[in-house]
Amino acid sequence: MVKYLRDELDLLFAAVDQGTGELARAILTEHGVHSMLHSSSFESAVAVVAKSRFCQLYVRKGSKDEARRHLTAAWGRTKVDKLVSNAGSGRSRRTREAGHGADE
How far from 6 is each of 48, 59, 84, 91, 103, CA to CA, in Å? 28, 10, 18, 20, 30
Show the domains of the chain with their CATH numbers.
5-97 (3.30.70)
pTM: 0.68
**Cα–Cα nearest to 45, from 57, 37, 34:** 37
Q: What confidence score (pLDDT) does residue 85 get?
A: 78
35-46 pLDDT tens trace:
999 886 655 445
Mean pLDDT by 10 residues, the chain (104 residues): 74 89 95 89 51 82 95 94 71 42 40
Q: What confidence score (pLDDT) does residue 39 get?
A: 82
